[in-house]
């Protein structure tokens, strides 16, 4: 099979990229190891993705947004960050002047399903499911991709979009900075007695962070960052004991809580690839930049990368030629590295219980609460 571009990994980023490049008239093959049935109806995975205005615009253009059930999309009006029991809170958004939400919360499995449908509907995209990449051979003019089942794909450009522990990145000989953060993230839905008014709450407790992200109705996505043993203990509690523990942990912020979904655990690993592109290849999504979820930017960065790569390749006679790929790599690194580095710092600060770290946290929150900083952050999310 001969195509312009092979995208390795049919996650939300790989599928959006395939659609974006095919909209420019390219032929694209997506290679995904999950079977078609799992792509067509992905299981709930506990993740609620906070999407920025820029991400929504791109999802609109790719006709992914219109495939989401509007009744399941929750506006995020304000975010409040606190340090432990301190009454001081950094509030972003909710100022009377904008009338715009900061962003929207959409379940990851719904985004995946919509992205798969949009990719299937796009002429020029073929999805090869239930198969992985066994070997790669890069030549001057093309890449030869051998699939696990022996099929051969000939392409001008290979894009690795197979997640933060990307096997393709390794096969391409690209290193990555990997940080195992020694914490796990437990995510689930909770129903609560009091309304959230569209406000996301995040605070430091228990040697980790607790976040409540507003969903439709009187329910929220609970996100607990915990040491692995604590996380395992919370997973083992029966639903009633879990609800009691969580109600106590949330200190009555939203009243009594009830577990309203399955619980999911993610070990926290962040990663940043040493190169974002090279001869006849590029990296996309988490394979390029695997953000710590605390700043809710992983998928938003993934979509920004889709837009940048598509813009760099627009009109290029050869999509695997060096100049557009290098332009993409420079632009994507410039746009993502500062927030990646800052997020690593915040994540470390928020899991350190030494007195010095506590003082720094309080200081950092007060600096961040200055009007100029808050407005800049709000503009960034709403841009
Ligand atoms: C708890 C949690 C909360 C989050 N919240 C947010 C948020 O609020 N906002 C935000 O922007 N981001 C958030 N993120 C990050 C977001 O989920 C990721 O950035 C996004 O899923 C990355 O998409 P991707 O397509 O790059 O990778 P993935 O979703 O990891 O998809 C990779 C795909 O590649 C396939 N694959 C892997 N290996 C192979 C192989 N060898 N061959 C073929 N296929 C392969 C996999 O099956 C998978 O389908 C969160 C993440 C977590 C864990």
What is the set of domains in the chain, with CATH numbers? 2-71+107-178+269-348 (3.50.50.60), 75-101+183-267 (3.30.9.10)
Q: Cα torsion at 113, 115, 121, 123 (round to 10°)?
A: -150
183 alpha carbon – ligand 1 mean position (Å): 18
Nearest-atom index, ligand 1, CA of 50:
8
Q: Tell me the pLDDT tens digit for each residue of 327-345.
A: 999 999 999 999 999 888 8
Split at pLDDT 50, 70, 90, the class of 120 is very high
Q: Tell me the pLDDT tens digit for each residue of 27-66.
A: 999 999 999 999 999 999 999 999 999 999 999 999 999 9
363 alpha carbon – ligand 1 mean position (Å): 33
Residues lining ligand 1, Cβ inside 6 A = 8-14, 31-34, 47, 49-50, 108, 132-133, 161-163, 167, 185, 187, 266, 285-286, 293, 296-300, 302
Output the pLDDT for position 314: 97
Q: Tell me the pLDDT tens digit for each residue of 56-99.
A: 999 999 999 999 999 999 999 998 887 665 656 667 776 555 67
Q: What is the pTM of this model?
A: 0.93
Other beta carbons within 10 angstroms of residue 309's beta carbon come to 30
299 alpha carbon – ligand 1 mean position (Å): 7
Q: Tell me the pLDDT tens digit for each residue of 167-193.
A: 999 999 999 999 988 889 999 999 999
332 alpha carbon – ligand 1 mean position (Å): 18
Split at pLDDT 50, 70, 90, the class of 204 is confident
């Amino acid at each position: 099979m001969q195509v312009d571009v092979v995208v390795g990994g049919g996650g939300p980023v790989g599928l959006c990229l395939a659609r974006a490049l095919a909209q420019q008239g390219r032929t694209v093959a997506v290679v995904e190891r999950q079977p078609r049935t799992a792509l067509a109806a992905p299981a709930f995975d506990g993740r609620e993705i906070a999407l920025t205005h820029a991400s929504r615009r791109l999802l609109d253009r790719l006709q992914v947004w219109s495939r989401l059930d509007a009744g399941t999309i929750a506006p995020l009006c304000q975010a409040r960050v606190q340090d432990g029991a301190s009454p001081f809170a950094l509030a972003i958004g909710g100022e009377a002047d904008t009338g715009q939400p900061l962003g929207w919360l959409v379940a990851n499995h719904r985004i995946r399903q919509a992205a798969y449908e949009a990719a299937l509907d796009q002429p020029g995209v073929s999805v090869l499911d239930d198969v992985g990449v066994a070997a790669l051979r890069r030549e001057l003019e093309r890449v030869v991709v051998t699939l696990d089942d022996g099929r051969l794909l000939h392409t001008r450009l290979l894009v690795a979009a197979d997640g933060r522990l990307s096997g393709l990145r390794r096969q391409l000989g690209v290193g990555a900075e990997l940080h195992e953060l020694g914490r796990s993230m437990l995510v689930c839905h909770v129903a609560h007695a009091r309304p959230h008014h569209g406000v996301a709450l995040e605070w430091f407790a228990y040697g980790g962070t607790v976040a409540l992200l507003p969903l439709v109705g009187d329910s929220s996505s609970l996100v607990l960052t915990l040491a692995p043993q604590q996380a395992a203990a919370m997973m083992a509690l029966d639903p009633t004991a879990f609800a009691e523990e969580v109600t106590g942990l949330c200190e009555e912020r939203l009243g009594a809580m009830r577990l309203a979904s399955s619980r999911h655990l993610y070990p926290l690993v962040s990663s940043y690839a040493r190169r974002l592109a090279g001869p006849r290849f590029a990296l996309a999504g988490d394979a390029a930049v695997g953000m710590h979820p605390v700043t809710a930017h992983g998928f938003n960065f993934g979509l920004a990368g889709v837009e940048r790569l598509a813009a760099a390749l627009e009109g290029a006679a050869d999509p695997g030629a060096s100049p557009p790929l290098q332009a993409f790599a420079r632009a994507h690194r410039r746009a993502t590295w500062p927030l990646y580095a800052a997020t690593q710092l915040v994540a470390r600060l928020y899991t350190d219980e030494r007195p010095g770290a506590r003082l720094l946290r309080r200081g950092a929150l007060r600096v961040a609460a200055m009007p100029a900083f808050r407005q800049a952050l709000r503009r960034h999310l709403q841009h």
